Amino acid sequence: MAPYKRQTSPRRPPAAKAPLTGAIIDAVLHYADLQEDQGCGRTLLRLSPRRLAEAGVKARLGANLDRARGVSILWNDREGEIVRIFDRPSRLMA
């Protein structure tokens, strides 16, 4: 058999993001002021920049404020439960 050299990728894998905390999820559910109807009894909940600037929200989230900027929660209105949580880097939020 012919010898071969193992190819290695010059790219590094993206750094792993810490998991969302319950405090962030709870704050988004409690303070969400952007609600978009998704149909079939589901609503997308998010925090607006104006809401994130409020003193109570800042105090509750503390160091997690920037992380909460990119969190959206798909909520099932009929069942009263979370369907899915979306966590986008805040630098991509418009």
Please report the pLDDT score of residue 45 as a whole number.
97
Sign of CA dihedral 56, 59, 60, 64: positive
Residues of the chain with pLDDT under 50: 93
Quote the pTM value. Answer: 0.76
Please report the pLDDT score of residue 17 as a whole number.
74
> Would you say 56 and 34 are in contact if contact means Cβ atoms under 8 Å apart?
no
Please report the pLDDT score of residue 12 as a whole number.
62
Closest by Cα among 72, 75, 70 to 38: 75
Please report the pLDDT score of residue 8 as a whole number.
65
> Would you say 20 and 71 are in contact if contact means Cβ atoms under 8 Å apart?
yes
For the chain, give every domain's residue range.
22-88
